[in-house]
Structure 1
Amino acid sequence: MSTKAHDGTLAADPLALEAFDHDWTLAELLPADERPRLLRSLAAALDGEIELVDGAPPPVDHGRYAAAIQIDFEPLGWLLGPPERGAAVDGIAELLRKMLLDRQRYRMASALHMESVQADFAALRAQHEALQQSENRYRELATQLEVRVAEQVSLIEVRQRQLYQAERLASVAQLAAGMAHEINNPIGFVRSNLNSARAYLRQICAALSSMREGDQAAWERIDADFLLADFAELIDDSIAGADRIATIIRDLKGFSNVDRDEVAVIDLRASLEELCRLLTPRLPELARLHCEGQASPRLRCRPGHLQQALHNVLDNAIKAIGPGGRIAVRCACADGWQQIEVSDDGCGIAEEHLARVFDPFYTTRAVGSGIGLGLTLARDVILAEGGRITLSSRAGEGTTVDIRLPLGGAQ
C-alpha cells in the first residue's frame, strides 16, 4: 500500500472519502445470490428455521426472535429465529456481524489500495509525460547543438586554412626579402660584366676596322690579348651569376609548393639543403647554418606542408641566435623513424614558458615580431604526418627541437 494511506493524503481525496463515508447496506456486503446457501447452513446449525431481513427498523414481531446485525451505529439487518433459541440466534448474528465487518474492511482497504495505485499511476504517467517532453527538448537542443558544432567546426577549419595561408605568406615575405638581396648581388655583377664586355667589344670592333684599313698597330694599342682574356673571365663570371640566380629561383620554387596537399615521395636531405640555402641570407653576421647526418632519400609525406613546418622551426632558430651563432640540423634513421633535430645556441626559452610554446598565438617576442603560430602549425603538420615533435630549452643556452617522422610515410 502506498505511504499516502498513512499520511492522510488519500483520505482527503473524494473517492477515498467515499469508501470510508459510505453507508453500507446488507445487500452490498451480502449479495442475494450468496444468502440461500448461507441461510441453509445456519438453519442446519441452529436446527430451526432462520431468516435474514434487510433494513435498520426492527421487524414486526411474529413470534420469532430478532437479533440485530449491527456494524456501525445503525443495524444493517436482522436475523430472525425461534424464540427458544434466542441465545443461538444472537451467536449466529455475532458471527454474521464479524463476517460482514471483515468484508466491509476488505472493501474499504481495496478501495484505498486502488485509489493509491491509481494516484501512483497518475503520478508516474505525469512524470513520464514530463520526461518525454524533456527528452523531446533535449533532442531538439542536441540537434541544434550538432548543427552549431558542425558550423563551428567548419568555421574553425576555414580559420585554420586562413591562418596557415597567413603564416605561409609571412614565410614567403621573409624569404623574398632575403632572396631580393641574394639575387641583386649576382644581377649587379652580371650587369657590370656585360657593360664591360660591351665596351671591350666596341674596342675590338674599332681595332678590327682599323686593321682592315691597314693600321696593323691598332691591335696592340687596345691590348687585345688582355681584352680577350678578361672578356672570357667576364663571361664565366656572368654564367656563374646566372647559375646562382637559377639555383635561388629553383629553391624558392620548391618552397612555393607549400600549398600542395597530396602525398608524394621526396628526398629529405635535398629538401633540407634547399631550405637551408634559402634561409642562409637571413642569418645574422658570421652566423652559420649547417645540415648533417642521414636523411631518407625516399620519405613519403606531404612535401609542401612538411617544408613549411621545417621552415617555421628553422625560422625560430634564426630569430633566437645572434651574430656568430650556430644552427645545426642533424638527421638520423633508426627503428622505422626519421629523426630531424634542430639545435641552436641562441637565447633559449625560460622554463615557465615551455609548457605553452605550441599554443596558438603564444609568443615571447616583442609585438610585431610574429603572431605565434609558427610552432603551432609545425606541430599540427608533424602530427598529421603521424609523427611527433618535442622542444627542450634553457634560457641563455639555446633550444633543441626534436622531430620524428615515420619512415612508412603519411597515411
Structure 2
Amino acid sequence: MMYGVDKINAFALAMLNQAELEDLLWSIAQGVGEIMEFDDCVIYLRNGDKLVQMAAFGVKNPKDREIFERIEIPVGEGIVGNVALTGEAEIVTDTRDDPRYINDQYDGLSELAVPVVYEGETIAVIDSESNRANDYSEFEQALLQVIANIASPRIASAQYQLKLKQTQVRLERSNNELKQSLNELAKNQAALIQSEKMASVGVLSAGIAHEINTPLGFSISNLNTVLEDFLPELTQVIHRVKADPDLPASSRALLYDDEFNYVLDDLSALTQETLNGLKSAKQIMLDLKRFSREDSDIFILSDINKGIESTLNILRNELKTDCEVTLDLHPLPEVSVNIGKLNQVFMNLIMNAKQAISERGKIAISTQFIDDWIEVKVSDTGCGIPKSHLKDIFTPFYTTKPVGEGTGLGLAICYRIICQEHNGKLSVDSDNQGTVFTIQLPVKNQVERTA
C-alpha cells in the first residue's frame, strides 16, 4: 500500500488551518482514515487518568460529528490505555487472543494504537481497529506514528489555547462579579452617605430647634404678659383718665381721637395674632425636634399618628398650593420604633405624592390597627407609576425622574428603614389614577423588642 507525500502534506496543512481543539481532532481522525485507508480511526484525548473518545472516522462515526458510543478508558487499562501508559505504539494481530481488548460498539479483530507524545508525556492516542485479523503492518505503525508526531504540537497548542480561553472566560466572569460587587458597594456607600446626610441634617435641625426655642419661649411669655396684664391695665388707666372731671380739654381731645382709639382697640388683636404666630413657630420647632430626633439609633415607644402630624406640619407650606391633604387617623397603640427615621419615611412618601401631582390633587393618609399590625397608607391622585417600573421601585439609584431631579435613593432608604430596621413591610400599588404606598409595622415584635 503506497501513501502519497502530497496527501500527508495536505493533511499537515489541514491541521494548521484548525484553530479549535475539537475541529483539529476531527480533522486528524478524518485525515488518518483517508490517508491510510482505514475503516476505523478514533482519537482518544487524555484527561487526567482517563482517555476520552473525542473524534472518530469510519464505522464509529455514523454522521456529522457524532461518535456511535463515546467511551472512557482508564490509563493503563486495555490496549489503548497501555499505549498511553508506556508511550509506545502497539499492534495487536488478533484481539481474540489478547485479554486487554475492550469491546465497544465495534468488534475489531486487529488493532493499531500509537501514542501522541508532547514533551515526554502522552497527551492522546490514535487508535484503529479492523474487522480482519493481522490487518496492520509495521510500516503502517511507523507512518501512523509519524502522523502522530506531526499532530502532537498542534494538539498541545490547541489544548493550551482552549485552557487559555477557559481561563479568560473565568477571569471575565470574575471581573464581572467584581464589577457587580463594586457597583453594589458603591450603591451601598452612596445610600450610607445619603443616610448620614439625613442624620446630620437631623442633628443640625434638632440643634437649631433647641436654640430657637429659647428666644421663642421668652417672647411668648412676654407677649402673654402684655396681652393678659399690661394691655388690660393700660385700658383701665385710660378709662379712669377719661372719667377725670379735672382733665384739660386738650388732653381729653387726644384721648378721644379716632386714630388713637383705633390703635388702642387694634393693639390687643395684633398682640394676640403675634402671640399665635410665635406659638405656631414653637410648635413647628417641637415638630422639627420630634422629626429629627438626635437619638437616631434608639427605639422608643411612640405614637405613629403624632409622627405623621408632625411631618405634615413641617411640610404644610410645601403642600398648601398644590394638594388637598385628608387625614383618617384611627387610634393606635404605641409601638417601639425609631420615630425620627419613620418620620423620614413619611416625609419621603408625602413629597413623592406631591411631585406626582401635576395640578391640584389630593393626598390621603390613613392609619389603622389590624391583627397586631399598624397599617399606614399614603395615596395620591397623581399620574401613577407604570407597571413595568414597579418591580424596581425600591432598587437603589432607580428613578423615573429627569436627570438632576432625583437620586433614586429615597424609596430604597424607605424600604431599608421599614423592612430591615423595623421588620415591617412596604408595598406599592399604582395605576393611571394614582399611587398607594402601604406601610405595615408589627406591634407585637416591636413591643417585645423593648422588653
Structure 1 residue 215 displacement after superposition? 3.3
Q: Distance in 1 between matches of 2:184 and 2:360?
A: 46
Q: Distance in 2 between matches of 1:371 and 1:223?
A: 58
Shift of the 244–212 alpha-carbon distance from structure 1 to 2, 3 Å rule, reads farther
Matches within 5 A, 1:123-142: none
Q: 1:343 aligns with which of 379, 384, 387?
A: 379
Shift of the 5–343 alpha-carbon distance from structure 1 to 2, 3 Å rule, reads closer
Indicate yes or no: 2:398 matched with 1:362.
yes
Q: 1:393 aligns with which of 430, 433, 437?
A: 430
Q: 1:165 aligns with which of 178, 196, 201?
A: 196
Would you say how many aligned residue pairs link Structure 1 and Structure 2?
251
Structure 1 residue 256 displacement after superposition? 2.1
Other structure's SS at 2:405 match: coil
Other structure's SS at 1:408 match: helix
Shift of the 254–366 alpha-carbon distance from structure 1 to 2, 3 Å rule, reads same
Structure 1 residue 262 displacement after superposition? 0.7
C-alpha deviations, 1:50-84, integer Å up to 9, x for none?
xxxxxxxxxxxxxxxxxxxxxxxxxxxxxxxxxxx
Structure 1 residue 388 displacement after superposition? 0.6
2:187/2:397 contact within 8 Å kept: no
Other structure's SS at 1:4 match: coil
Structure 1 residue 360 displacement after superposition? 0.8
Q: 1:282 aligns with which of 307, 313, 318?
A: 318
Indicate yes or no: 2:349 matched with 1:313.
yes
Q: Distance in 2 between matches of 1:323 and 1:168?
A: 32
Matches within 5 A, 1:33-72: none
Shift of the 367–172 alpha-carbon distance from structure 1 to 2, 3 Å rule, reads farther
Match of 2:291 in 1: 255
Matches within 5 A, 1:116-155: none
Other structure's SS at 2:406 match: coil
Q: 1:301 aligns with which of 337, 346, 358?
A: 337
Shift of the 213–343 alpha-carbon distance from structure 1 to 2, 3 Å rule, reads same
In structure 2, give the amino acid aligned to 1:388.
K
1:389/1:402 contact within 8 Å kept: yes
Structure 1 residue 225 displacement after superposition? 3.9
Structure 1 residue 9 displacement after superposition? 5.1
Runs of at least 5 residues in structure 1 that lack an aligned partner in the other structure: 14-148, 175-186, 188-193
Structure 1 residue 168 displacement after superposition? 6.1
2:428/2:436 contact within 8 Å kept: yes
C-alpha deviations, 1:202-234, integer Å up to 9, x for none?
xx99xx8xx689733221236544332211111
Indicate yes or no: 2:76 matched with 1:4.
yes
Q: Where is the strand percentage greater, Structure 1 or Structure 2?
A: 2
Q: Distance in 1 between matches of 2:407 and 2:272?
A: 45
Match of 1:330 in 2: 366
Structure 1 residue 304 displacement after superposition? 1.4
What TM-score comes out, normalization by structure 1 length? Answer: 0.52
Q: Distance in 2 between matches of 1:217 and 1:287?
A: 53
Structure 1 residue 155 displacement after superposition? 7.8
Shift of the 214–284 alpha-carbon distance from structure 1 to 2, 3 Å rule, reads closer
Other structure's SS at 2:256 match: helix
Match of 2:262 in 1: 226
1:287/1:325 contact within 8 Å kept: yes
C-alpha deviations, 1:100-148, integer Å up to 9, x for none?
xxxxxxxxxxxxxxxxxxxxxxxxxxxxxxxxxxxxxxxxxxxxxxxxx
Shift of the 310–214 alpha-carbon distance from structure 1 to 2, 3 Å rule, reads closer
Q: Distance in 1 between matches of 2:364 and 2:428?
A: 15
- Identity across matched positions, percent: 26
Runs of at least 5 residues in structure 2 that lack an aligned partner in the other structure: 1-73, 88-179, 206-218, 220-225, 242-246
2:187/2:396 contact within 8 Å kept: no
C-alpha deviations, 1:168-206, integer Å up to 9, x for none?
6789999xxxxxxxxxxxx9xxxxxx9xx9xxx9xx99x
1:290/1:328 contact within 8 Å kept: yes
In structure 1, give the amino acid aligned to 2:424.
G
Q: Distance in 1 between matches of 2:253 and 2:181?
A: 89
Match of 1:70 in 2: none
2:358/2:382 contact within 8 Å kept: yes
Q: Where is the helix percentage greater, Structure 1 or Structure 2?
A: 1
In structure 2, give the amino acid aligned to 1:304.
G
Shift of the 168–354 alpha-carbon distance from structure 1 to 2, 3 Å rule, reads farther
Other structure's SS at 1:165 match: helix
What TM-score comes out, normalization by structure 2 length? Answer: 0.48
Shift of the 367–151 alpha-carbon distance from structure 1 to 2, 3 Å rule, reads closer
Structure 1 residue 378 displacement after superposition? 0.6
Other structure's SS at 1:343 match: strand
Determine which structure has more spread, i.e. the larger CA radius of gyration.
1
Q: Distance in 2 between matches of 1:171 and 1:347?
A: 31
2:202/2:294 contact within 8 Å kept: no
2:199/2:296 contact within 8 Å kept: no
